[in-house]
Structure 1
């Protein structure tokens, strides 16, 4: 429960960080000050505020500086939560084994261990993937089975992180290649986000095997042509 609280508080702080960042951008845009997307863009805007840009009235500058102070505090709190989560991850043998899966880092591994304390409560990896919400809806008609998109049911937090991890694996495969050629074959037929959900589904099944059976991740062996 304590580790779950760490993740929930961190998620709340990340949302606060996003809200503060968007507020700073929106307020400064009213005075014609815009910057590129990303952290660097916000830093550039705040630098203009600190340097006393004449386009920003004094009262507006005071408001933006107040938001900037909150942003700095929230960032520090997120770093502290990350430090605590990493410590919990390193102290847990199952979490360390999960982090061997490509796309699964300490944050996701710790969250999986906290959310699934008894993996044998699921009879298979598919059931775990369905509980998370990574199994597509099935629509059968006329003897033909059609798979739709995933629903919004399930554990949204784990589903989001697994999908983000899968996207990272896909991006790496596109740039550097992979020992799992089916990923590139899937990308040739489906959009990137669809392929990411399919890979996240496979990752969830790997997670169940590692947690329920005590296995370790095994890198696929490239067969000679």
Structure 2
């Protein structure tokens, strides 16, 4: 892994902030949806960090296909690191900064496992409710 890429996701235009592992700023640019995939495909092996949102899992899977390590961070952990007003550029910088803290983000695999545990827990709760409902009948 050579660098850390923070991406602020949006509908059409994405803000991309790139730093080296030593923390040196390499780039901070705006890319359209069409150019983002091609740009990420050209990057060396990197850790890509995004705020968790509706489209983050889709993008995480897309970027993972190029051999990058992808993490998602909850927006509540990014907000304290934002300097200045809330805009795409500051958000991308804050995402990279939040990633430098231990335990900040989760990989797609970790989220998949959490999802399975939640589904199983819900099924167990429903099963118990059905069993209890059946016990009350005469």
For CA contacts below 8 A with separation 6 or more, give which structure has more relative contact order: 2
Which is richer in helix?
1
User: Which structure has the larger Rg over C-alpha atoms?
Assistant: 1
Confirm or deny a common fold (TM above 0.5): no
